[in-house]
Amino acid sequence: MIHKRNATITAVGGYVPDTILTNKMLESYVDTSDEWITSRTGIKERRILSDITLATSDMAAFAIKDLLHESGVDPKTIDCLILATSTPDHILAPAATLVCEKAGLTIAWGFDLNAACSGFLYALSVGASFIESNRYHKILVVGADQMSAIVNYEDRNTCVLFGDGAGAVLLESSSDGSGLIDNVFKVDGKGSSSLSVSGGGSLYPASLVTVADKKHFIQQDGKNVFKNAILGMTSTCSEIMERNQLDTAMIDWIIPHQANLRIIEAVSKHLDFPMDKVKVNIQKYGNTTAATIPLCLWDFKEDFKEGDKLLITAFGAGFTYGSTYLKWGKLHSKII
């Protein structure tokens, strides 16, 4: 059987900072407790980029270097970098240009993509389209966010949720049936005010007033986000399974965005998936926004076998949300 050209993941990399911020440590910041945070979110600790000389582009570059080192891929063969992030180093220039420089991608061109927590899935779809067109052959897709830069550590409702990190995958062409098969993506602009950082853009440029009003920090309507995240991820998973004639027994693994363990468990329950088929690492990293899904792929890559069917789903600010169905392929192995 001849399969159409797909974009398949051939290498995975990741990076998380060394500094660990535990729930116990947060008790000295705000009125909270380890029991309260764990029971409501599933998070035990998160990683924080504490070196003030580093930023999102550095974490992305570290994740890429990990990928290149483990796979043996030559950085000079990379055609393009797509960086999913909500926390670029600067408004200008794009963080992707800095990452190319720092990671030694001397031939690649690149750009940023901002779809919040759905950013990695959106970027993966764009990268796959480039591969499928046969115009490009090696595409790096990276999700990276330094959420500690936009978190108010006096707000107990948000500061317990987020951490910093980066994950990267390499996309290449495949004709063996592996790779990205289908996507379902949605947006609902009515939810844009429920999870936002309103200051610093063209509507509210940075000023003494925006700083005083804490407009440069994350603001969240937790109940509305919680409800819509469950609905959005469940509905898009169901849609993609229906149109690809899949049932739960045919899916080997679900990789959900790591925002809240209760959301993940609710999605699993609504889809009738056992939790032992759902990959979870939120307890270690918290919500790293665009980095959660590639960090899951990095953490659990040894569990995935060639031909495994993966259902990946995300929900983020905007509201942006969606699901991707892919078949796991063969990863590069470093020649020693």
> Which active-site residues does the annotation give?
117, 257, 287
Q: Are strands 80-84 and 139-146 parallel, antiparallel or unpaired?
A: parallel
3-state secondary structure at position 299: helix
Helix (H) or strand (E) holding 270: helix 261-271
Number of CB atoms found within 10 A of residue 243's CB: 11
Number of CB atoms found within 10 A of residue 208's CB: 7
- Degrees to nearest 5, angle at CA 33 with 29 and 37: 105
CA dist 147 and 83 (Å) reads 15
**Residue 319 DSSP label:** T
For the chain, what's the residue count? 336
- For 108, 158, 182, 199, the CA distances from 46, given in Å and listed in that order, are 32, 13, 32, 25
